[in-house]
Amino acid sequence: MFELRVLNGLHQGAALPLVGEEWSIGSAEQQDLALDDPGVESLHCRLQRLGDSWTLSAEEGAVHDEDGNARHTPDLNLNSAFMLGSVWLCVSSADDAWPSVPAVIP
């Protein structure tokens, strides 16, 4: 079982179990993961699982990787953080320890 983890911000510690193949992330309450933090757009991005791979597709907002680089469709590694607005998140196995929040601020 995998989960989408919120590493900081208003919803720090929240984890969305990832059942299925696609999830919407944004500030609107109808998203699969709704984040009210500054800089998070209504439909910020979509997370997709394609076999053993994880991909983010930016929609209305930028997605930044751990180095602070903006990416339109970044591939994700498990436990590698990414930033939406002011919030760091990651995809992890439910059994893995929670990673630290990166020091990079884009």
3-class secondary structure, 32: coil
Average pLDDT on 4-29 reads: 97
pLDDT at 3: 98
Q: Which two tokens stand for residue 22?
A: 């696609």
pLDDT band, residue 50 (cuts 50/70/90): very high
Please name every residue paired with 59 in a beta bridge, in sequence order, or none if there are none: none
What's the mean per-residue pLDDT of the chain?
Answer: 93
**What Rg do the C-alpha atoms of the chain give, in angstroms?**
12
- Please say if the pLDDT value at position 106 is more than 70: no
Domain 2-92 maps to which CATH number in 2.60.200.20, 3.30.1050.10, 3.90.1150.10, 3.20.20.370?
A: 2.60.200.20
Round to whole Å and give the CA distance between 29 and 104.
28
Q: 29: Cβ–Cβ under 8 A, 6 or more apart, which residues?
A: none
Average pLDDT on 70-75 reads: 83
> Residue 63's Cα: distance from chain center in Å?
8
Please name every residue paired with 3 in a beta bridge, in sequence order, or none if there are none: 17, 92
- Please say if the pLDDT value at position 35 is more than 60: yes
Q: Answer positive or negative: Cα dihedral of 42, 76, 82, 10.
A: positive
pLDDT at 11: 97
- Please say if the pLDDT value at position 21 is more than 70: yes
- Please say if the pLDDT value at position 18 is more than 70: yes
Residue with tokens 């002011």: 86
pLDDT at 104: 66
- Please say if the pLDDT value at position 59 is more than 70: yes
